């Protein structure tokens, strides 16, 4: 097997994406495991369709670290779902939390989730982005598998299967999948949706900023009161990095 990519080496993103063009999701995961070795991790929010990526990836890399960011505000059903999938798939689960407790955050800043976009961004930096950054550092991650799909948000529509974000590589095995493919995978492998899925929750985050959606709404319309689409985990930290995403060498 080729030497794994490390923080001191660089990957030709154009060549990598060309090599993976048309590859199925399993092959993308295999490529990531071969390319990044022990530096590979994955994340899961244990959302509506989380079982797809968890099953897909752990079939190829059974011991891959699975990072779950516990904001302290998940639905009770989410915690139960995480326990169920962890037991069923024997996940190597790594739970990370903000060093600021939910109560202390509210005492210091108020109920940030009830404010404007700037308040929501501060909330996400405290409860999600900082813990994820710390997880990636402590796990010595050089690459991160994520279950993003192009149809979910405007930002995700522009992504390639392999990207570079915040000094690490991001790999998106199911980027081109649609809702039908997700459903068929769950059905084929007898995997569950999140318990709230059948109650109209298509995209599930924290209880205070997630709502059920109507039949004509997009799956992300139930998040963040319509003020934004992303929580900050899957976007570049700087405009310069966003502008350089499509450069051939990084």
Q: Which residues are catalytic?
A: 231
First and final C-alpha spacing in the chain:
23
Close Cβ partners of 22 (under 8 Å, ≥ 6 residues apart): none
Q: Which tokens belong to 160?
A: 């390639």
Per DSSP, the residues of 62-91 read TT-EEEEE--S-B-HHHHHHHHHHHHHHT-
Q: Are 220 and 241 in contact (CB under 8 A)?
A: no
**Residue 167: how many other CB atoms lie within 10 Å:** 11
Q: How far apart are CA 25 and CA 95, in angstroms?
A: 25
Q: How far apart are CA 145 and CA 149, in angstroms?
A: 12
Measured CA distances, 40 to 58, 95, 162, 170 (Å): 12, 16, 13, 10
Alpha helices for 3-63 (secondary structure H): 13-20, 25-36, 50-60
Q: Which tokens belong to 56?
A: 């897909």
Q: Which tokens belong to 43?
A: 């994340």
């Amino acid at each position: 097997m080729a030497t794994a990519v490390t923080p001191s080496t660089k990957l030709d993103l154009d060549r990598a994406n060309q090599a993976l063009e048309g590859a199925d999701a399993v092959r993308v995961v295999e490529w990531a495991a071969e390319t990044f070795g022990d530096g590979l991790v994955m994340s899961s929010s244990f959302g509506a369709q989380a079982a797809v990526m968890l099953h897909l990836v752990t079939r190829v890399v059974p011991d891959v670290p699975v990072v779950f960011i516990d904001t302290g505000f998940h639905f009770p059903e989410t915690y139960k779902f995480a326990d169920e999938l962890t037991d069923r798939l024997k996940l190597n689960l790594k739970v990370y939390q903000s060093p600021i407790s939910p109560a202390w955050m509210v005492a210091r800043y108020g109920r940030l989730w009830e404010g404007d976009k700037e308040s929501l961004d501060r909330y996400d930096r405290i409860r999600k982005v900082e813990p994820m950054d710390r997880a990636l550092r402590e796990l010595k991650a050089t690459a991160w598998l994520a279950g993003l799909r192009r149809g979910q948000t405007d930002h995700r529509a522009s992504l390639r299967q392999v990207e570079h974000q915040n000094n690490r590589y991001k790999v998106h095995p199911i980027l081109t999948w649609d809702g039908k493919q997700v459903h068929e995978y769950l059905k084929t492998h007898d995997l569950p949706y999140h318990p709230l899925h059948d109650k109209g929750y298509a995209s599930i985050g924290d209880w205070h900023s997630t709502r059920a959606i109507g039949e004509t709404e997009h799956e992300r319309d139930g998040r963040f009161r319509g003020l934004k689409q992303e929580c900050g985990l899957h976007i570049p930290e700087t405009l310069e990095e966003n502008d350089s995403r499509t450069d051939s060498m990084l």
